[in-house]
Amino acid sequence: MAMDLAGYLQIYNVPTSCKSCGGVLVYRGLGEYRCEECGAFDYDNYGKARSYIEQNPGASAVDIEKNTGVSKAAVRAMLRESRFEIVEGARSFLHCESCRKEIRSGRYCPECEKNIHLTLEKQQREEHQKKMHVFAMNTQGETGQRRFVRDKD
């Protein structure tokens, strides 16, 4: 399910105007924004957390919150979106929303994600077959013979 704009702005704390001059901030990628007027940089929650993790590999959500101001809830949301991954050997995990197995990022374990995709593919095939069957049923009055005959020269 797609996140609405208000939810996105809230979770990521997206800066909209420059703190230095009030100019428009332009998104540059990876949570970084640059002012059109003065060239100052600012970061959203993802950019702040990403930068902190790069400098402090293996940092916990508590460490990130304490040192960047990015809430643990926002860090969890980013983990669920697979923007970050819990490091190997960590004592905390996320749980698969389907089978409750421990995972390091995302919403589902690889097995459940595969099953979800297979189920969706099966449903799409069934829907496609249904449409094709209905299309074939709309051939009233046809006997299976050729409908078009080439004119002989």
The number of CA neighbours under 13 Å toward the Cβ of 24 is 3
CB atoms within 10 A of CB 78: 22
Rounded Cα gap, residues 92 and 108, in angstroms: 16
**pLDDT one-digit tens code per residue, 118-129:** 999 999 999 888
**pLDDT one-digit tens code per residue, 7-33:** 777 778 899 899 999 999 999 999 999
The band of 107, judged by pLDDT with boundaries at 50, 70 and 90, is: very high
Helix (H) or strand (E) holding 17: none
CB atoms within 10 A of CB 30: 12
39-8-37 Cα angle (round to 5): 15
